[in-house]
Structure 1
Amino acid sequence: MARARAGGLALSPRTVFECRTVAALARAAVRDTAPAPLAELDGGGAGSLPLPPMARLHAERGPGLDRLAQWLVLELPAGVDLPGLTATLRAVLDRHDVLRSRLTDDGLLVPPPGTPDPAALVKRVGCPGDWGGEDWGALLRAEAAEAVRHLDARAGRMLRLVWFDAPGGPGRLLVAVHHLAVDGMSWRVLLPDLAAAWSRVRAGRTPELPPVGTSLRRWLRALADEAARPGRVAEVPLWRELLTPPVAPVGSRPLDPLRDLTATTDTVRVELPAGLTEAVLTSVPAAYRSGADDVLLTALVLALARQRRGVTDGATVVRLEGHGRHEELVPGADLSRTAGWFTTVTPVRFDVSGIDIDAAVAGGAAAGDALRRVKEQRRALPEGASATPCCGTSTARPRRCCARTRRTRSASTSWAASPSHLPGRRTARTPPPAPDGPRRPKAPNWSPPPRRTCRPPARSN
């Protein structure tokens, strides 16, 4: 998107998500129609900023922010040395403000470029380079756990790199980042920037990275203004009504934060036939003018309705996660190169009462009725509901905004199902089980190695 905008094309994250093919993107892209860039605050990305909505949710109603991190492993190019690695990291730290931030009682505080010292963030570990052996898996688990323990948001330690230096060949680099500074889409910015900065360092040039369009600080201030807008505040009764009715827990009992831990979860993988997968992704959404996510949501709602038969009234509240980069809420915003935690969640109440659940699960005509209802109930939410913390994300807004919405959130019950928070995500309070990562950048190396499976470290609480 950044390259498209540099070429004069108006594209947004929403356009990319809605247009699933290159041809559709080409039709949607228009020239010279983008609004004027959003003016930055004094100081740019440096200064104080409120917590992102999801961070405040975790801080106020979740497990807190300690050791909440994402990590992955990269293959390094040949010839990497410590001075080159620290120079590369310096360029990335200076470009992406949130990597320099620290947690305060009021939110985040970002110092100017130049801090912290990148050399203090890199740990060098000797490694034989037998990447397929059990010794490598054990070493990775141990170093990943130590890297996550090293992160301390209040001390400003948002980033930790472990360089596995293998003699006679390229090494690997574990990159652990506090979740306050990164989300899934941020990796698509950071990995190419690491590769680009290293290319210039290797060539003996000063590493220069493309500018960031809209800083995280500017975006969160604008989002707070949007949340305080009277039209958004008027939506509070809708969300109070949605969250008020009781919802039965998923399973035989409510989750227990002392017993139900990341370390006690299991990951279940099911492979579907190619024909069924194709139908879910193409023909069914086309027939019902829906998305593949609507099809999967319908399956979840039907499964829960069948499990809870006789226990509830057929309604299920599902917590839907979104990328959060809804630039249309703030004209002129450009988040295509902004790193940070933008993720949002929205509660949606799905009611399939009156539908023959057994017939729907069996694939009869009732399945189509259920899909239509799920799609319509999801579309009935206010526009932008998945983007603003006032309208359904149940994530806390900055403390100076609208105290009544904060009371609504604190009085609401827990949501029933959260398909985006199933076991196996790389976001965890302990390191994830596999050193995989996002898609590879378009530069040689600085990319995730082939996937392998290893058990996560044991954890006690």
Structure 2
Amino acid sequence: MRIGDLPRPANLPASFGQQALWVIDRLGGPGGRYVVPMALRLSGELDVSALDAAVKDVVTRHEALRTLIVEDNGRLRQVVVPAQDASVRLTLIPEDLSGSGGDAAEERIADFVRRGFDLAADIPFRAGLLREAGTEWVLVLAVHHHAVDEWSLPVLLGDLSTAYQARSAGREPGWAPLKMQYADYAIWQREILGDPADPDSELAQHLSYWRNALADAPEESTIALDRSRPAEPTHQGGDAEFAVASETVAGLRGAAQRNGVSMFMIVQAAIALTVSALGGGDDVVIGSPVGGRTEDGLENLVGYFVNTLPLRHRLRPDDTISELLGRVRQTVLDGLAHQAAPFEHIVSAVGVDRSVARNPVFQVMLTHQNLSGGPDPLNLPGVTARQQRASLGAVKTDLDIYVDEAQHTLTGSLSYATDLFDPGTAERFLALLQRTLTTIATRPETRIADLQVLFDTDVSSVGGWSVGAGVVVPAVTVDGLIRDQVVRSPGAVAVVDDADGGVLTYAGFDGRVNALARLLAGRGVTVGDRVAVVLPRSVDLVISLTAVLRAGAAYVPVDPGYPAERVAAILQDSAARVVIADG
């Protein structure tokens, strides 16, 4: 079934992506949090009336740019505003208001892109033009994310260029009609994926993969916070930019070729290592938008096709960076194979606890764009265009990382939640990310455990922590301390059972520990072995853990509430000689 084959119903359904963004919009936060901004500095003899007409042409061509999201009786639908009714104009900033310096211009750009949209009432597109001086201009476009994604921007700017060239020559654009529109994609998407409750549907099969891939993933996957997470975040953000040195970029390209990975995979690995080093643990989930344009005919269409994949990276200290890159490659490829599952459905399938305080599944997001090899998407005759970053002053997650890959450069920016982090923490994150990328480029055989994560100032601080008088600590064991206590006070209470109020004295506790330790020894348990203990919290659990230590072994605690597959995996990995259980 091809997109466009299905008839349009009277009520056009919202796509899964639009539905998710509508929910986020209802949760509040800065109005511009999900606005996609573009700011382009123009220099030359600009035909303002032609540009105004071109803006209208582009909005007429792409239905997504004049689509509202409306709720009716608990269901969302798209309402496509007829082209003749879509009142979109190029907003002009009068010259006498824009001549007060660069700071004023930047403030006006920020105000323009940060202003939100009413999804049920506002056309999700606006364009503004600031005249700085003479033939110097700034073209500012702000589009709500439900109508556009990052991969739509070259299409939008390319069509804007075509329309401007035609209008400045006194004619209408001569482009071929589009074979489909975004609403056709939304209809097709819901039909092709099917019902997640149907085990034979395509969506159910994709969700099965994500359920397994994210089983027992950490509840939070982020760096150490400077402040406690507020119950109701403001979603306000600070920004920092970075650029990777050219020699490092060349080294990364060599590492990519040798390891059979893309630059996106390398950046994924570097961010996972950086997050881990800054308090994220050895199990890191990073969210990454993917284009979602897997069907023919979508490449020339503006719309929100993007989906976000939660890519999970398990970091093993003994692995080399090259070995990690191999696993990241497989993780990314497997995720892309199942990218059709909408993120909101993944969250529901995994059973993640929802909280307004944080993004579900992941709290660090990487948006990677490959800008290599393509011409400048905005081509206005007699005008040179240079793109600049436009800050939204807002974040989607704890850390939003944007990376632009060109043929010889790797640049980007970091937006960080000011609720959680200070500017110094953001700078530290970027500095460590740069160091990690340099290591990947120059020493890919470095073990993860040997990565240098401390800077000189950190080394001095750590050294300062250890200054002071030495303390002599006796060489004792847990079992030795218990035996000493038994000798000192055999009749004292050692363990209390909350369930029935029963108590064990140290003498009674010691007797039961001895009996179990002898039983373990009789089963062949000796020094250095592992014993799995599959017991709920109870007196028996305390006795068992102590008996394992007395037998000279190490205990492997296993929660009996784990799924059977998880328990089996722990037992296999630990190579436990015996298992202590209550049934």
TM over 0.5: yes
Q: Counterpart amino acid of 1:262?
A: Q
- Equivalent residue for 1:262? 236
CA deviation digits over 1:53-72, x for unaligned, max 9? 44433443675594321222
1:80 to 20, 24, 47: 47
Q: Distance in 1 between matches of 2:63 and 2:35?
A: 17
1:418 to 357, 364, 377: 364
1:107 to 77, 100, 104: 77
Q: Counterpart amino acid of 2:184?
A: R
Question: Whose Rg is larger?
Answer: 2
1:384 to 311, 326, 337: 337
Q: Greater CA deviation, 167-176 or 84-93?
A: 167-176
Q: Counterpart amino acid of 1:50?
A: P
SS of the residue 1:201 aligns to: helix
237 and 40 in structure 1: CA distance in 2 versus 1, 3 angstrom threshold:
closer
Shift of 1:302: 2.8
Q: Counterpart amino acid of 1:277?
A: V
Q: Counterpart amino acid of 2:209?
A: L
- Equivalent residue for 2:329? 375
SS of the residue 2:208 aligns to: helix
Alignment of 1:221-236 (within 5 A): 221-228=187-194, 230-236=201-207
- Equivalent residue for 1:395? 344
Shift of 1:214: 2.9
CA deviation digits over 1:231-251, x for unaligned, max 9? 431343332233341414412
269 and 186 in structure 1: CA distance in 2 versus 1, 3 angstrom threshold:
same
Q: Distance in 1 between matches of 2:307 and 2:155?
A: 19
Structure having the higher strand fraction is 2
Shift of 1:81: 4.0
Shift of 1:142: 2.6
Q: Is the 8 A contact 1:179 1:341 kept in 2?
A: yes
Q: Is the 8 A contact 1:144 1:174 kept in 2?
A: no
Shift of 1:371: 1.7
SS of the residue 1:419 aligns to: strand
- Equivalent residue for 1:27? none
Q: Distance in 2 between matches of 1:162 and 1:369?
A: 49
Question: Where in structure 1 are there 5+ consecutive unaligned residues?
Answer: 1-35, 328-332, 361-365, 397-404, 426-437
Shift of 1:268: 4.8
- Equivalent residue for 2:269? 298
> Do structure 1's residue 56 and structure 2's residue 25 form an aligned pair?
no
Q: Is the 8 A contact 2:158 2:378 kept in 1?
A: yes
95 and 300 in structure 1: CA distance in 2 versus 1, 3 angstrom threshold:
same
Same amino acid, percent of matched pairs: 17
CA deviation digits over 1:215-261, x for unaligned, max 9? 11111222222321624313433322333414144123575474563
Q: Distance in 2 between matches of 1:319 and 1:161?
A: 30
SS of the residue 1:154 aligns to: coil
> Do structure 1's residue 127 and structure 2's residue 80 form an aligned pair?
no
> Size of the alignment, in residue pairs?
371
Shift of 1:144: 4.0
SS of the residue 1:341 aligns to: coil
CA deviation digits over 1:256-280, x for unaligned, max 9? 47456333x24152533x3321121
Q: Distance in 2 between matches of 1:410 and 1:87?
A: 49
Q: Distance in 2 between matches of 1:409 and 1:110?
A: 34
446 and 151 in structure 1: CA distance in 2 versus 1, 3 angstrom threshold:
farther
1:444 to 381, 387, 394: 381
Q: Counterpart amino acid of 1:420?
A: L
1:245 to 187, 204, 216: 216
Q: Is the 8 A contact 1:126 1:165 kept in 2?
A: yes
Alignment of 1:161-200 (within 5 A): 161-165=127-131, 168-169=134-135, 171-200=137-166
SS of the residue 1:185 aligns to: helix
CA deviation digits over 1:170-193, x for unaligned, max 9? 643322222221222222112222
Alignment of 1:138-153 (within 5 A): 138-146=104-112, 148-149=114-115, 151-153=117-119
Q: Is the 8 A contact 2:38 2:388 kept in 1?
A: no
Shift of 1:198: 2.1
Shift of 1:86: 3.7
After TM superposition, the score normalised by the length of structure 1 is 0.68
Q: Distance in 1 between matches of 2:382 and 2:242?
A: 29
Q: Distance in 2 between matches of 1:190 and 1:286?
A: 33
Shift of 1:454: 8.7
Q: Counterpart amino acid of 2:81?
A: P
Q: Is the 8 A contact 2:113 2:392 kept in 1?
A: no
Shift of 1:101: 0.9
Shift of 1:104: 0.6
- Equivalent residue for 1:30? none
Q: Is the 8 A contact 1:91 1:209 kept in 2?
A: no
> Do structure 1's residue 117 and structure 2's residue 87 form an aligned pair?
yes
109 and 143 in structure 1: CA distance in 2 versus 1, 3 angstrom threshold:
same
Q: Counterpart amino acid of 2:344?
A: T
Shift of 1:93: 1.7
Q: Greater CA deviation, 295-304 or 92-101?
A: 295-304
Q: Counterpart amino acid of 1:346?
A: L
Shift of 1:379: 3.2
SS of the residue 2:150 aligns to: coil
2:36 to 42, 60, 70: 70
Q: Counterpart amino acid of 1:376?
A: Q
418 and 92 in structure 1: CA distance in 2 versus 1, 3 angstrom threshold:
same
> Do structure 1's residue 345 and structure 2's residue 308 form an aligned pair?
yes
Q: Is the 8 A contact 1:76 1:173 kept in 2?
A: no
87 and 372 in structure 1: CA distance in 2 versus 1, 3 angstrom threshold:
closer
CA deviation digits over 1:67-103, x for unaligned, max 9? 3212223427635244x44432222121111111111
Q: Name the structure, 1 or 2, with higher relative contact order (CA <8 Å, separation 6+).
A: 1
CA deviation digits over 1:150-179, x for unaligned, max 9? 633211321222232467536433222222
- Equivalent residue for 1:334? 297
Shift of 1:37: 6.8
Q: Distance in 2 between matches of 1:37 and 1:234?
A: 21
Q: Counterpart amino acid of 2:45?
A: A
Q: Greater CA deviation, 229-238 or 284-293?
A: 229-238
Q: Distance in 1 between matches of 2:223 and 2:56?
A: 48
Q: Counterpart amino acid of 2:285?
A: V
Q: Counterpart amino acid of 2:338?
A: A
